Chains A and B, each alone.
Chain A
Amino acid sequence: MQLTPSEISEQIKNRIKNFEVSTNASNEGTVVSIADGVATIHGLSDVMSGEMIEFPGNIYGMALNLERDSVGAVILGSFESVSEGDTVKCTGRILEVPTGEALLGRVVDALGNPIDGKGPIETSTSSPVEKIAPGVIARQSVDEPVQTGLKAIDAMVPVGRGQRELIIGDRQTGKTAVAIDAIINQRNSGIKCVYVAIGQKASSIASVVRKLEEHGALSNTIIVAATASDSAAMQFIAPYAGCTMGEYFRDKGEDALIVYDDLTKQAWAYRQVSLLLRRPPGREAYPGDVFYLHSRLLERASRINADEVEKLTDGRVKGQTGSLTALPIIETQGGDVSAFVPTNVISITDGQIFLETDLFNSGIRPAINAGLSVSRVGGAAQTKIIKKLGGGVRLDLAQYRELAAFAQFASDLDDTTRAQIERGRRVTELMKQKQYAPLSTAEMAFSLFAANEGFLDDVDAVKVVDFEEAMHAYIKSNASELVAEINDTANFNDEIAGKMKDALTQFKANGTW
């Protein structure tokens, strides 16, 4: 419904009337030099480290270098209109961003301003961007799963609620695809998602937004975008802003998932800012605290216990734990995981999913290297059924890798070796999955059960993918009760195993693929 012209002017009149006229005392300084988004300021004697300072024209900056005679600040936003001699004011606030449910479904920049053209965001709370991670006593160990919907991950490197799992690989290996599939699978799980895009092309972010909307996952996702054309300061702040927005849900006793895509570009942006602030460069020209840059960000992704949630919500939420799961993404150059930033982040996270170009090019997508990928939370973050059925997959693939060299001599080998190789080939085929097609627990369980019980052994290796697709369609129509039971309870016992076996035997007898 359109507002009539008089209503609009009524609104404006009200806003003017309610505007609080106040005289405030502020600390001021003068810009002495401004170059490349970094301003040197004289004065500002009361400025705090990390404080938001205001430049003329509603432009904000962050005071990072507090020196004896000057203050070095990075400007958050476009700095073309700031000139030497401008007056700068302290705001008395540490950098903060709006938080709340109103942000879900929206695309915002690193400061929380909407950039999707859908109108202003009404939030009642805002929170500082830099916060201390929960202490040891406040935490609880991870034992609930985040279902990513990807067989390879949920079976072999499961992710739990509150865990940090690194997605690492070269360019164009499907890192963002894995993260987006994980987000899409949360559309009905009650986990709120935050996708932080750092230094990416605006067109890539636009296509991610479209895909999420297509699959109905946008309404419970917040997208924080600091594109490649945003200043380095915005790219450096964006992950912290996204983390603050995710922590809002964690501190309320809910679960949230945050994807940082990618942290390599944040390290580059931070390096740029540090070098312009004249901080001494270290290894690979990164500043000395590049480890701390990532460690303080990733430590905030955790699971907190019910007592802590009760304390943080002033007693409103009782008996619920909150969690923030992080999926940081790191891009390596030439597969070198022993470079500076990758090794830093590997040592911080609770495991990594290692994607390889060779696997990707040979058609294995997701291109997960099962040997190098690990999840340090492991079985504690798996549902009972996947845990029981997934254990064999890793072993099969490991044995297959050992014997892979002999695969060419298939006819000259003894039966056991040949059987292992054939099984490994089929499991590898089974682990392939289409993009934007996350699987439910039941579908995954059936696939793994089929592999373990040998239902695939007489299927042609190249037809395994078709077999799986047809099998999923079959069980959805012919075994829907069993499917529902597995999806709800994720239980596994002899009775369920028997039912699954029956269903699969029937499918193989009647079905076509």
Chain B
Amino acid sequence: MAEKITIARPYAKAVFDLATDEGKLGEWSETLQLLSAIANDADFSALAANPSVADDKIVELMTSTAGDKLVAGGEGLVKLLIANKRIAVLPEIAEMFDELRAEAEKTIEAEVVSAFEVGEAEQTKIKAALKNRLGREVTLTCKIDESLLGGAIVRAGDLVIDGSVVGQLNGLASAMSR
């Protein structure tokens, strides 16, 4: 049973290679986001799954909704996906493309969830520390979550650094119960 990611991988790799050759990583990223938004739409997916609707009608529908935002070659991708009946994996293709792009450009998106507001100075410090650790440029997004009681959790990809008070309390609880 193949996973969606496994199906999406060849397409994402192909689009990424094409985008790198043309130097249009940013535009392709936007196009893919747009297309996956359309693919996620309930009405559209119902229509795409309907066997009595002709393929080129669906391609037309998608490209016309996307309008000018579609990059050159985007229509070709849509045609290919619909012909292979893989239009539903567009979101995974978009995700994987962004991952490949981040890998190539050595960037990473990190999220800081804290109980209190994080000041500018602190944000810069966190960025620098993460850059040291991960070796990439970091774009930081900040979120507030009061249930943490204090401290912060930093997430970057699969790496999670838990410095929150509630995390330490949980650790204490499990250590005591042993």
A interface vs B, CB < 8 Å? 12, 15-16, 19, 21, 23-29, 43-46, 58, 68-70, 89, 120
Q: Which residues of A contact B168 (CB under 8 A)?
A: 21
Asked if B160 is at the interface of the complex by the 8 Å CB criterion, the answer is yes
Q: Does A69 contact B159, Cβ atoms closer than 8 Å? A: no
Q: Which residues of A contact B162 (CB under 8 A)?
A: 23-26
Asked if B23 is at the interface of the complex by the 8 Å CB criterion, the answer is no
Q: Least Cβ distance of B14 to chain A in Å?
A: 17
Q: Does A25 contact B158, Cβ atoms closer than 8 Å? A: no
Which B residues, 131 to 178, have Cβ-Cβ distances below 8 Å to chain A?
151, 157-163, 168, 171-172, 174-178
Q: Least Cβ distance of A172 to chain B in Å?
A: 41
Q: Which residues of B contact A25 (CB under 8 A)?
A: 159-162
Q: Which residues of A contact B178 (CB under 8 A)?
A: 120
Given contacts A68-B6, A69-B5, A70-B3, contact A19 B158 (CB under 8 A): no
Q: Which residues of B contact A46 (CB under 8 A)?
A: 158
Nearest first, the 9 A-B pairs at minimum CB distance are A23-B163, A25-B161, A45-B158, A28-B160, A69-B5, A43-B158, A27-B158, A58-B174, A69-B3
User: Could you say which of A15, A16, A19, A27 contacts B159, with CB atoms under 8 Å apart?
Assistant: A27
Q: Which residues of A contact B163 (CB under 8 A)?
A: 23
Report Cα–Cα, A26/B170, bound state, in Å: 15
Q: Mark B81-124, 1 if CB is under 8 A from A, else 0.
A: 00000000000000000000000000000000000000000000
Q: Least Cβ distance of B97 to chain A in Å?
A: 16
Report Cα–Cα, A181/B157, bound state, in Å: 57
Q: Which residues of A contact B160 (CB under 8 A)?
A: 25-28, 89
Q: Give 10 pairs: A residue, B residue, CB < 8 Å, sorted on A.
A: A19-B171, A19-B172, A23-B151, A25-B159, A26-B159, A27-B159, A58-B174, A58-B177, A69-B3, A69-B5
Report Cα–Cα, A200/B17, bound state, in Å: 57
B interface vs A, CB < 8 Å? 3, 5-6, 151, 157-163, 168, 171-172, 174-178
Q: Does B176 contact A12, Cβ atoms closer than 8 Å? A: yes
Q: Which residues of B contact A70 (CB under 8 A)?
A: 3
Report Cα–Cα, A70/B6, bound state, in Å: 10
User: A90's closest neighbor in chain B, by CB?
Assistant: B158
Report Cα–Cα, A189/B171, bound state, in Å: 45
User: Could you say which of A15, A28, A43, A45 contacts B176, with CB atoms under 8 Å apart?
Assistant: A15
User: Count of A-B contacts with CB under 8 A?
Assistant: 45
Q: Which residues of B contact A69 (CB under 8 A)?
A: 3, 5-6
User: A46's closest neighbor in chain B, by CB?
Assistant: B158
User: A21's closest neighbor in chain B, by CB?
Assistant: B168
Report Cα–Cα, A120/B178, bound state, in Å: 9
Q: Which residues of A contact B174 (CB under 8 A)?
A: 58
Report Cα–Cα, A12/B173, bound state, in Å: 12
Q: Which residues of A contact B176 (CB under 8 A)?
A: 12, 15-16, 19
Report Cα–Cα, A25/B151, bound state, in Å: 14
User: A57's closest neighbor in chain B, by CB?
Assistant: B174
Q: Least Cβ distance of B108 to chain A in Å?
A: 13
Q: Least Cβ distance of B86 to chain A in Å?
A: 16
Q: Least Cβ distance of B159 to chain A in Å?
A: 6
Q: Least Cβ distance of A279 to chain B in Å?
A: 14
Report Cα–Cα, A317/B119, bound state, in Å: 59
User: A30's closest neighbor in chain B, by CB?
Assistant: B158
Q: Least Cβ distance of B171 to chain A in Å?
A: 8
Report Cα–Cα, A260/B48, bound state, in Å: 59
Q: Which residues of B contact A45 (CB under 8 A)?
A: 157-158
Q: Which residues of A contact B171 (CB under 8 A)?
A: 19
Report Cα–Cα, A44/B175, bound state, in Å: 24
Q: Least Cβ distance of A115 to chain B in Å?
A: 15
Q: Does A28 contact B158, Cβ atoms closer than 8 Å? A: yes
Q: Least Cβ distance of B151 to chain A in Å?
A: 8
Q: Which residues of B contact A44 (CB under 8 A)?
A: 158
Report Cα–Cα, A43/B160, bound state, in Å: 11
Q: Which residues of A contact B172 (CB under 8 A)?
A: 16, 19
Q: Which residues of B contact A43 (CB under 8 A)?
A: 158
Q: Which residues of B contact A23 (CB under 8 A)?
A: 151, 161-163
Given contacts A26-B160, A27-B159, contact A19 B6 (CB under 8 A): no
Report Cα–Cα, A15/B159, bound state, in Å: 30
Q: Least Cβ distance of B162 to chain A in Å?
A: 7
Known: A21-B168, A24-B161, A69-B6. 11 other contacts (CB 8 A): A15-B175, A19-B172, A19-B176, A25-B159, A25-B162, A26-B159, A26-B162, A45-B158, A46-B158, A58-B177, A89-B160
Report Cα–Cα, A26/B175, bound state, in Å: 18
Report Cα–Cα, A44/B107, bound state, in Å: 20
Q: Least Cβ distance of A243 to chain B in Å?
A: 24
User: A25's closest neighbor in chain B, by CB?
Assistant: B161
User: B174's closest neighbor in chain A, by CB?
Assistant: A58
User: A12's closest neighbor in chain B, by CB?
Assistant: B176
Report Cα–Cα, A70/B172, bound state, in Å: 31
Q: Least Cβ distance of A131 to chain B in Å?
A: 25
Report Cα–Cα, A44/B157, bound state, in Å: 10
User: B176's closest neighbor in chain A, by CB?
Assistant: A15
Report Cα–Cα, A69/B1, bound state, in Å: 12
Report Cα–Cα, A70/B151, bound state, in Å: 31
Report Cα–Cα, A27/B159, bound state, in Å: 5
User: B161's closest neighbor in chain A, by CB?
Assistant: A25
Q: Does A29 contact B158, Cβ atoms closer than 8 Å? A: yes
Q: Least Cβ distance of A92 to chain B in Å?
A: 13
Interface centre among A23, A58, A120 (most CB of B within 10 A): A23
Q: Least Cβ distance of B163 to chain A in Å?
A: 4
Q: Which residues of A contact B157 (CB under 8 A)?
A: 45
Report Cα–Cα, A401/B19, bound state, in Å: 84
